[in-house]
Amino acid sequence: MSAKDAARYYGLTFDRKGWAVCPFHQDKHPSMSFRGGRFRCWACNASGDSID
């Protein structure tokens, strides 16, 4: 399972560019990007993979 699949499983939604609203801070606009099976929030610096 990729990080993106895991995020989708937990109810995150993605915009057209594949960015998601971050569940780790009060995010109003998608700040979280997914690449290479890992996620990274550019607003609160959260990062990890589907296991995290």
Site string for Zn ion, 26-45 (x = CB under 5 A): ---------------x-xx-
Detail the DSSP E strand segments found in 1-52.
32-35, 38-41, 47-49
Q: Which among 23, 41, 39 has a CA at the least distance from the CA of 31? A: 41
24 binds Zn ion (CB under 5 A): yes
Minimum distance, C-beta of residue 40 to Zn ion, in the bound complex (Å): 9
Amino acid code (one letter) for 38: R
Taking CB under 5 A as the criterion, the residue among 12, 21, 22, 39 binding Zn ion is: 22
The amino acid sitting at 10 is Y
- Which residues bind to Zn ion, rule: CB under 5 A? 22, 24-25, 41, 43-44, 46
